[in-house]
């Protein structure tokens, strides 16, 4: 089921990470088990100044973060209050580089949920080129009182 534009913006606004550290700016589709989001890297992103000057590439850890933030939206979309935090990362495979001007498409699938633990897998593509594959776990912490 496709999420409508207003719901997509509402859910996106609930993500705790905000610019310049939010690496998802569009929700393409969203349902209970899967989300597809996108982020376009601007030429002036702060990390390009020091990450391989003259040959800027997106840091791999930030590619992972883009998947984590996309997964957090999937958790928030379940309408349970709390803060999603990554608790385990495994099976990361970096296939290609992301560069300034590239648009990432992140697809995160909820593989299983046990209590407040969310088991997810994700991929990032630029066009039809696979950039990253990852399997990770996150926990939904209760809201602070």
Catalytic residues: 51
What is the rounded CA–CA span in Å between residue 138 and residue 117?
A: 6
Q: What is the distance of C-alpha 73 from the center of its chain?
A: 8
- Cβ of 99: how many Cβ atoms within 10 Å? 14
What is the rounded CA–CA span in Å between residue 36 and residue 27?
A: 6
Nearest to 94 by CA among 138, 61, 69: 61
């Amino acid at each position: 089921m496709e999420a409508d534009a207003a719901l997509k913006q509402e859910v996106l606004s609930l993500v705790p990470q905000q610019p310049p550290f939010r690496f998802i700016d569009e929700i393409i589709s969203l349902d209970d088990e899967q989300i597809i989001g996108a982020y376009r890297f601007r030429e002036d992103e702060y990390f390009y100044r020091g990450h391989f000057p003259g040959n800027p590439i997106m840091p791999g850890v930030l590619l992972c973060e883009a998947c984590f933030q996309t997964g957090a939206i999937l958790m928030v979309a379940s309408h349970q209050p709390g803060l999603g935090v990554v608790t385990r990362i495994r099976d990361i495979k970096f296939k290609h580089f992301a560069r300034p001007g590239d648009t990432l498409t992140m697809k995160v699938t909820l593989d299983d949920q046990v209590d407040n633990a969310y088991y997810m897998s994700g991929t990032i593509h630029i066009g039809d080129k696979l950039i990253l594959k990852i399997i990770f776990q996150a926990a939904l912490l209760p809201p602070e009182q």
